[in-house]
Amino acid sequence: TLAAREAARRAEAERYAERNWSRAEEALVAAAETLEGGSLNRAQRAAGDAESRYRETEARALTGKARGR
C-alpha cells in the first residue's frame, strides 16, 4: 500500500488528481484506524482498498499530466 502511495505521490497526484488523492488518503487512515482497533482481517481488506485507490489515482494523475491539466 505504501509503495502504491509513493508511486501516486511521484506522479504528482496531489496536483493532478486531487479528489482521488484525498479519497485514497482517507482509505489509508481508515485502514490504520481499523488495525489500531484490533481487527487485522478488516484492516487488510481496507488496506487493499486504499492500495487500489492509490493505483487509480496514480493513473489519473499521469493522464492529467500528459494532457497538461
47-57: per-residue pLDDT in tens? 999 999 999 99
Grid coordinates given for 65: 499530466
Per the document, the length of the chain is 69
The rounded distance, in Å, linking the Cα atoms of 45 and 49 is 6
pLDDT of residue 65 exceeding 90, the answer is no
pLDDT in tens, 30-53: 999 999 999 999 999 999 999 999
Q: How confident is the model at residue 23 (pLDDT cuts 50, 70, 90)?
A: very high
